[in-house]
Structure 1
Amino acid sequence: MSSPPPAFVQIAAERCSGCGRCVAACRQRIFTLEPRGRRKLAVMINRKPCDRCKRCIENCPTGALFTAPS
């Protein structure tokens, strides 16, 4: 039986408050905040170094981050 595909963090932009907690929590520095209209939103700048620790998810106060199969 094969193992499930690895999960990667996804961002639900409509739920992101732009607080930057994911940016601060990520040891691999895969997030940044970018201006989107009148707000700033978290965006992933590189998924590859993600070690799937889920610290970003645990620190997101709005639940905008979640895991999904790659």
Structure 2
Amino acid sequence: MLLPRIDTERCTGCGWCVAACPPRVLSLQVVAWRKHALLHDDSGCTGCSKCARCCPFGVISMVPATKSDERQA
């Protein structure tokens, strides 16, 4: 299973990935007055990679789920 990994340092918080996510497992989070995308539901992610394909800044990569991700599911 692949999950999106978001480079929060480079993410601009534009929200394109959130809008493109069919199961709605991505959201925008504000930290220190700066927005960035966040995967808030690992178990609900289908691994479709629509978020990574639509990101205009290329800050989302699809990576294999780790053992800790699988335990949370």
Larger radius of gyration: 1
Residues in 2 aligned to 1:11 and 1:65: alpha-carbon distance in whole angstroms = 5
Residues in 2 aligned to 1:18 and 1:69: alpha-carbon distance in whole angstroms = 24
Runs of 4+ in 1 over 6 A off after TM superposition: none
1:11-67 Cα distance to aligned partner (Å, 9 max, x none)? 111110100001100001111111111211111110111111111011111111101
Structural mapping, 1:1-70, within 5 Å = 6-70=1-65
Q: TM-score, normalised by structure 1?
A: 0.85
Give aligned-pair identity as a percent.
37
Matched pairs, number: 65
Alignment RMSD: 0.9
Name structure 2 gaps, 5 residues minimum. Answer: 66-73
- Amino acid corresponding to residue 3 of structure 2 in structure 1: F
User: What SS does the aligned partner of 1:23 have?
Assistant: helix
Higher helix content, 1 or 2: 2
